[in-house]
Amino acid sequence: MGTVMKFRNVRPDMGERTAEATALLKTLANQNRLKIVCTLVGGEHSVSQLEETLGIHQPTLSQQLTVLREADIVATRRDAKQVFYRLKEEKAARLVMALYGIFCREHTRH
């Protein structure tokens, strides 16, 4: 109760996995990239769709998509002139869902 929190029997030592976890956190710790990934949770989008939906200008968008691609978080499919992006990494999708629960619903404490 109060503000202190304890989860004594869960012990998330996270140990060896902090490297992997922080890598994912870093990749998503950018407003543009987080918006992109959130959008892709709803299904694949082309670059121009993302550009219009998010209002991120094209080279910036492409650069951040490259970051996500190199982090293996997204995959692409080409259809004629357009390139469609989709989520590939389940961990990223799960993290976004968790963020959604934390930030976009008010404190559903159980």
Contacting residues toward a copy of itself, per CB under 8 A:
3-8, 10-14, 17-22, 25-26, 28-31, 34-35, 38, 41-44, 75, 86-88, 90-91, 93-104, 107
Distances (CA, A) of 54 to 16, 34, 97, 102, 109: 36, 11, 19, 22, 31
Which residue matches tokens 């996500």?
A: 68
Give min distance, CB of 79 to a copy of itself, in A.
15
Q: Binding of DNA at residue 39 (CB under 7 A)?
A: no
d(CA 68, CA 49): 17
Residue 72, contacted partner among a copy of itself, DNA, none, CB below 5-8 A by kind? none
Q: Binding of DNA at residue 76 (CB under 7 A)?
A: yes
